[in-house]
Amino acid sequence: MGTIDKDIRELREKTGRTRYQFLRAELQTCFTALEMGRYELSVGNATGAEREVAAVEKGIRAIQRFLSEVSAEQRTEVETKLAELNEILDPLKGELSEQSR
């Protein structure tokens, strides 16, 4: 049984690392989509900007879904990045809202 327990522990550790890497990749994807959204808006493409905002919001939901499954230290890091993401996202959504009036 010792080998099975060790294998299970190693698999859980690997799963945890993979989950954390996924969250970091998803955050980076969201930041990239935000930059694209800002660019699209700057060239007058509100539809493109809205599409990027929707992608960011979908990414945020995915991150929030898995956030409880990482360590406290990792959760704090990801939550900090989520706050930064929202600081950029909210003004972009406001600009889009103003343009649609």
SS3 sequence of 48-92: HHHHHHHHHHHHHHHHHHHHCCCCHHHHHHHHHHHHHHHHHHHHH
Q: Taking the model in full, what pTM does it have? A: 0.88
Q: pLDDT category, 2, cuts 50, 70, 90?
A: confident
Structure tokens at 93: 């959504």
**Given pLDDT bands bounded at 50, 70 and 90, which one contains residue 29?**
very high
Please count the other Cβ atoms lying within 10 Å of the Cβ belonging to residue 23: 24
Phi, psi of 68 (to 5 degrees): -70, -10
Tell me, what's the pLDDT at 1?
60
Q: What is the pLDDT of residues 70-80, one digit of tens each?
A: 999 999 999 99
Percent of the chain past pLDDT 90, that is, above it, reads 86
The pLDDT score that the predictor gives to residue 100 is 72
